[in-house]
Structure 1
Amino acid sequence: MDFSLNDDQRAIADMATSLFSDSGSDEALIAFDESGKTTMDDLWQSCIETGLHALYLPEQFGGSELGMTELMLVLEAQGAALGQVPLWRHQIAAAAIAKFGNEALYPLVHSAASAELLFTLSQADQTRARDVTVKADTTPDGYLLNGRVEGLPEGNSANIAIISIETVEGILPAILDLSAKGIQKVEGVFTQGEGIADLALDNVIIPRTHALSVEAVEWLEVHSIAAQASIQLGVSSQQIKRTVEYINERVQFGRPIAQFQAVQMTMADCHIALEALRSSLWHLCYRLDAGLPAQSEALAVAWQACEAGHSIGHKAQHVHGGFGVDITYPIHRFLYWSRALSLGLGGSRAVLEKLGDWLAINDKLGWKYDLDENTTV
């Protein structure tokens, strides 16, 4: 396998790293915490000015039409800097509308590419072990929505959201104007400081064209997993880097604790978990860019992201000793982000159950060959 970047990808990665690193200093993160804001407005404006907010959108709508691999590199840089901006949901939601919506919805995609409107999505109903809580009754012109959307990311600031609705045709992703009549919001803040909102929908009417096809359900799921795992890769990578710097400076019993075998083996376990996530994530992004089926690969990556985030996060906290539980010291922020990402992915147990369900009805080794198990070549 060749994990080297081409020149264009390297340029994107370097630009994203440079852009996010300025906002990821300890001083900048402390100032952001004290501001009480849930979005780094200046950083988001820089993302818009450099086109990172529309990197994955089709060129016909004003985007750069790059692949999931390029978006992965940007999100990894965002995770490393703990950049609180709505990069991935804005793009994945708009890209889903471009791919599965009709021409009447294309102006929405243009508005996403120009950053005139902010998009978000709630994938919780698909990744968590729970029922969809928004019921849709069919009307002559569309759907009548009633129910709740809990913890919608960026629900406090977004204009357009994609949510899951239960219809007679099955579970469908639906485009919801968050300013529509009949929507009540209760705003809050998520684990890592991201703005969220609970929505109560009371007889909200949407046109039939605002319900995307059933094929969009899996597309949104696998792309949401790839995006969140990319951020987790950046979070965990920076977490390990900071921890290695700390254990080389922290002296106990007359020598740096990095020389203790137990600490060395702990950090080796962290590095192995990180690289396992990296290789499986690259494979997933390759398959998405190549248009190959990737549901089992995505679920495997989701499980690895949950497990790696938990394992690396707690090991990093542990070897920091008392500093690990001091919220005036920056390392705790990375654990908060890992926990939030794990919740967004559904948690390792629920994801593993979904992967088991997939394996129970599929007789192909999709993660490796895409061939029948009894096929010989």
Structure 2
Amino acid sequence: MDFEFTEDQKAIAEMAGNVFADYCTDDRLRQFDTSDHAFMEPLWQLCVETGLQSLAIPQAQGGSGLGMTELLLVLEAQGRALGQVPLWRHQLAAAALAQCAEPSLQAWAVEAAAGRALLTLELNGLTSAHGIALHATPAAGGWLLNGRVAALALAEQSHAALLLVEAEGQPRLALVELSAPAIRQVPGRMTHGEAIADLHIDELLIDVEQLLPASALSWLEPRSIAALAALQLGVSDEQIRRTVVYVSERRQFDRTIGSFQAVQMSMANTHIALEALRSCLWQLCYRLDAGLPAPCEALATAWQACEAGHLIGHTAQHVHGGIGVDLTYPMHRFLYWSRALGSALGGSAASLERLGDWLSHNDKLGWKYDLEEHQAL
């Protein structure tokens, strides 16, 4: 089995790493914290110039037509640098439209690939205890939307969004133009700096084709989980790296604190959690790029990401002591990001519950049941 990335994939990862590392210095992150900017617009322009914003959009719509492997390598670099740009939502929304929407909606994917339109999406209703709060009912010429969408990322800055709606008892995705008069936005901000808004939608009429087929949600959900997990992988990896540097330098009782057994064991646990997440994520990524179903792999990855983010984040804060919560020191940002990513994934309890429901209805699990024998070895 060959676990190596191709030379092209390594080149994309290196380019993304350089773009994010060069821009997202600790000083720039501190400046962004104290600004009122919704996201890092200069960094976003760099992503557009280098094509990072359209990797997963098909070539027919003007994108690069690459797979999840390339996108996740970029997202891992983004998470490592804490780059506040809407990479994954933008291009996965565009790719979902390219894959599943009617031809009349393909222009959105084209505009997104060119960087002329910003897209966002929301899937929180799948894991929320309140369920889906936006409902679609049949109406003359289309569907009528009523309800609420909580914490839509970059709602004020985006041109359109894929929103989770309940239509005839089933979860579906609807393409909604966010400038519609029937939408009232209540802006806010996540603790890690991402701009959000609650949407209150009253009697919004959309065309029939704007309600995407059920297959669109099945296509988008596991890829969204993989994207969030890749960000978490990058966040946690850098969190561990910085913490190792810190414990190697900080002295207490005439010794570096990294020489204490308790600190060593705590850091070993974080490394194990990180590698467990990495293995789970890349198995999911392989299946997505191979066109294989991955419902349980996606839920397992979501659980691993939530658990790893929590363990690594809190261990790093604990080892840093009071310095870790000093807002002039960078470590607190990594914990904020881990909390936000865990929330976007629905939390470990919700992911585990959904995985349990899946297992209770499926008696076959894993790669060995749906791959050829030579692939399963």
Counterpart amino acid of residue 122 in structure 1: E
Instruction: Determine the C-alpha separation between the residues in 2 that align with 1:59 and 1:220.
Output: 18
Counterpart amino acid of residue 26 in structure 2: D
Instruction: Determine the C-alpha separation between the residues in 2 that align with 1:163 and 1:172.
Output: 8
Instruction: Describe the superposition over 1:209-236 as per-residue Cα deviations: whole angstroms up to 9, x where unpaired.
Output: 0011111122211011000000000000
Instruction: Determine the C-alpha separation between the residues in 1 that align with 2:130 and 2:222.
Output: 18
Q: Under a length normalisation based on structure 2, what TM-score does the superposition of the two structures give?
A: 0.97
- Report matched runs for 1:16-31 at 5 Å: 16-31=16-31
Any conservation in 2 of the 1:236–1:313 contact (CA below 8 Å)?
yes
Counterpart amino acid of residue 310 in structure 1: H
SS of alignment partner, residue 38 of structure 2: coil
Instruction: Determine the C-alpha separation between the residues in 2 that align with 1:92 and 1:159.
Output: 15
Instruction: Determine the C-alpha separation between the residues in 1 that align with 2:255 and 2:211.
Output: 62
Question: Is residue 78 of structure 1 aligned with residue 49 of structure 2?
Answer: no
Structure 1: any 5+ residue segments left out of the alignment?
none
Instruction: Determine the C-alpha separation between the residues in 2 that align with 1:164 and 1:286.
Output: 26
Question: Is residue 249 of structure 1 aligned with residue 249 of structure 2?
Answer: yes
Would you identify which runs of 4 or more consecutive aligned residues in structure 1 move more than 3 Å? 367-371
**Residue 154 of structure 1: how far off its partner (Å):** 1.1
**Residue 325 of structure 1: how far off its partner (Å):** 1.8
Any conservation in 2 of the 1:313–1:338 contact (CA below 8 Å)?
yes
Question: Is residue 341 of structure 1 aligned with residue 341 of structure 2?
Answer: yes
Instruction: Determine the C-alpha separation between the residues in 2 that align with 1:136 and 1:276.
Output: 40
SS of alignment partner, residue 151 of structure 1: strand
**Residue 28 of structure 1: how far off its partner (Å):** 1.2
- Report matched runs for 1:204-215 at 5 Å: 204-215=204-215
Per the alignment, residue 292 of structure 2 pairs with 292
**Residue 50 of structure 1: how far off its partner (Å):** 0.4
Per the alignment, residue 157 of structure 1 pairs with 157
SS of alignment partner, residue 363 of structure 2: coil
**Residue 367 of structure 1: how far off its partner (Å):** 5.3
**Residue 165 of structure 1: how far off its partner (Å):** 1.2
Counterpart amino acid of residue 268 in structure 1: A
Counterpart amino acid of residue 259 in structure 2: Q
Counterpart amino acid of residue 114 in structure 2: S
Per the alignment, residue 37 of structure 2 pairs with 37
Per the alignment, residue 233 of structure 1 pairs with 233
Structure 2: any 5+ residue segments left out of the alignment?
none
Percent of matched pairs sharing the same residue:
57
Per the alignment, residue 62 of structure 1 pairs with 62
Instruction: Determine the C-alpha separation between the residues in 2 that align with 1:127 and 1:366.
Output: 23
**Residue 127 of structure 1: how far off its partner (Å):** 3.0
Any conservation in 2 of the 1:128–1:347 contact (CA below 8 Å)?
no
Instruction: Determine the C-alpha separation between the residues in 1 that align with 2:130 and 2:290.
Output: 32
Instruction: Determine the C-alpha separation between the residues in 1 that align with 2:369 and 2:319.
Output: 40
Counterpart amino acid of residue 188 in structure 1: G
Q: Under a length normalisation based on structure 1, what TM-score does the superposition of the two structures give?
A: 0.97
Per the alignment, residue 145 of structure 1 pairs with 145
Backbone CA RMSD of aligned residues? 1.4
Any conservation in 2 of the 1:128–1:345 contact (CA below 8 Å)?
no
Instruction: Determine the C-alpha separation between the residues in 1 that align with 2:49 and 2:24.
Output: 19
Instruction: Describe the superposition over 1:283-307 as per-residue Cα deviations: whole angstroms up to 9, x where unpaired.
Output: 1000000000001000000000000
**Residue 66 of structure 1: how far off its partner (Å):** 0.5
SS of alignment partner, residue 89 of structure 1: helix
Instruction: Determine the C-alpha separation between the residues in 1 that align with 2:223 and 2:154.
Output: 18
Instruction: Determine the C-alpha separation between the residues in 1 that align with 2:369 and 2:54.
Output: 33
- Report matched runs for 1:264-283 at 5 Å: 264-283=264-283
Q: Which moved more, 1:5-14 or 1:35-44?
A: 35-44
Instruction: Describe the superposition over 1:62-95 as per-residue Cα deviations: whole angstroms up to 9, x where unpaired.
Output: 1000000110000000000000000000011111
Q: What count of residue pairs does the alignment treat as equivalent?
A: 373
Instruction: Determine the C-alpha separation between the residues in 1 that align with 2:230 and 2:368.
Output: 21
Counterpart amino acid of residue 18 in structure 1: N
